[in-house]
Amino acid sequence: MKIFNTATMTKEEFKPIEPGRIRMYVCGPTVYNLIHIGNARPMIVFDTFRRYMEHKGYRVDYVSNFTDVDDKIIKAANDEGVSAQEISERYMKECLKDMEGMNIEPATVNPQATQEIDGMIEMIQTLIDKGYAYEKNGTVYFSTRKDPDYGCLSHKDLDNLRSGFRDLKVSGEEEKEDQLDFVLWKPKKEGEPSWPSPWSDGRPGWHIECSVMAKRYLGDTIDIHAGGEDLVFPHHENEIAQSCCANGVPFAHYWMHNAFLNINNKKMSKSLGNFFTVRDISKKYDLQVLRLFMLSAHYRSPLNFSDELMEAAKASLDRIKTAAAHLTDLSEAGAEGQMTETEQAIAEEAKGFIAKFDEKMDDDNNTADALSVVFDLVRFANTKVTEGSTRALAKAVLDVLVELTGILGLKVLPEKEELDLDIEALIEERQAARKAKNFARADQIRDELLSKGIQLLDTREGVKWKRV
């Protein structure tokens, strides 16, 4: 399997530190509001990568944090007149609801920055002791010039960056020894949450949080660090500097970054009125549609969000679900007995789609091409598994479809849902009307149910229904 490594700008053969195990850290959201669809892309992309690696037999230790102390959280708390903790806890819960709706597997650990302060103070002190950090008036800075490898991830020309900072006049900037030095610890301001430290009562800088959480839950060196491409610099660059200088060993062997999400070919922005939360989308679409949409492009390619593309994703998901429902019906009501030789050949051909799927995913988590394999399987199933097929064949092909869609995190099996008693009564009345050849009444009931969002399907196995 090959992964595009941002640090080397090449696809590299993946080799875990420990055979059969992957240590993976994915930067999570800052919880000051409902998550937006830009947040959703890395969640879905790297959850799918995790599922695929588990499919390949790896144990994946998957850590994704919540940043629960931040300027935006403090501002939201002050605006509402509540504590920062109340804001962060509220939106962590809401984020987890949205993640469940998108079928994101629970992380091995979801650490919170505020619960890891002691570890941050310890790492900062280590950096000071080793000469990589310094304190000025209660603020601790990391000295980028002391790290000879600073810039190894972003490949930026640091001298040009420094010259661009010459005219920057920000309170506290004059204390820095170098304009690219960044904050590890900052003194508290009035109305802010704070913790005691050897340097001041204050709070950690953003970058140190992830270095410490990755170290605590995954170790000094991890296999994969991932996140959105907006985090490459300065966040991930600074994580590398802190972690390598403090721990004395490489931080992460592979760096994976997803590209931006645009809205109707424009950058998502509240000022442009094109800012959508995941909760907004859930009011119009099943979040499984959003998931399929996110996987329809390669994760390193920019992705454009639009109503037309979401409708296309909805139609695509419906195609898969329809095929799954048909196979489910045949696996329950098809011909009994063992598969014929012809059917055994069909079942073996169906299993061959797993290898095709794996080939696409092995090429840098190419979910777009892997989805194409799923649609090829749907066409195959619709052609090869018919009303006369055995239950065994239908079940064999269904198992392959469920396995592949499951790796993508798509739920395609029909859900067992209870109908309201009045709806069930109407369905029974329609059945009686059809038996009595009162087709006018049967059609009337069918239309009435359709107006209630229930579509009836008359099949050889009997009447079935689905929500529309």
pLDDT in tens, the chain (468 residues): 999 999 999 999 999 999 999 999 999 999 999 999 999 999 999 999 999 999 999 999 999 999 999 999 999 999 999 999 999 999 999 999 999 999 999 999 999 999 999 999 999 999 999 999 999 999 999 999 999 999 999 998 888 887 655 444 444 556 899 999 999 999 999 989 999 999 999 999 999 999 999 999 999 999 999 999 999 999 999 999 999 999 999 999 999 999 999 988 888 777 677 789 999 999 999 999 999 999 999 999 999 999 999 999 999 999 999 999 999 999 988 889 999 999 999 999 999 999 999 999 999 999 999 999 999 999 999 999 998 999 999 999 999 999 999 999 999 998 766 677 888 888 888 988 888 889 899 899 989 888 888 888 776 657 777 777
Answer positive or negative: Cα dihedral of 83, 85, 90, 92: positive
Read off the pLDDT of residues 14-54 as tens digits, 9 standing for 90 and up.
999 999 999 999 999 999 999 999 999 999 999 999 999 99
CA distances in angstroms from 75 to 72, 87, 383, 434, listed in the order given: 5, 10, 58, 64
Angstrom distance (rounded) from CA 259 to CA 302: 5
Choose among 230, 196, 256, 405: nearest CA to 320: 405
Angstrom distance (rounded) from CA 402 to CA 398: 6
pLDDT at residue 246, rounded to an integer: 98
Choose among 103, 52, 49: nearest CA to 287: 103
- What 3-state DSSP class applies to 150? coil
pLDDT at residue 417, rounded to an integer: 63
Choose among 254, 200, 209: nearest CA to 53: 254
Choose among 23, 28, 7: nearest CA to 206: 28
pLDDT at residue 167, rounded to an integer: 45
Residue by residue, DSSP assigns 249-315 as: S-SEEEEEEEPPEEETTEE--TTTT---BHHHHHTTS-HHHHHHHHHTS-TTS-EEE-HHHHHHHHH
Tokens matching residue 383: 């052609």
Read off the pLDDT of residues 238-264 as tens digits, 9 standing for 90 and up.
999 999 999 999 999 999 999 999 988
Q: Is the peptide bond before 196 cis (omega within 30 degrees of 0)?
A: no
Choose among 236, 246, 28, 27: nearest CA to 121: 246
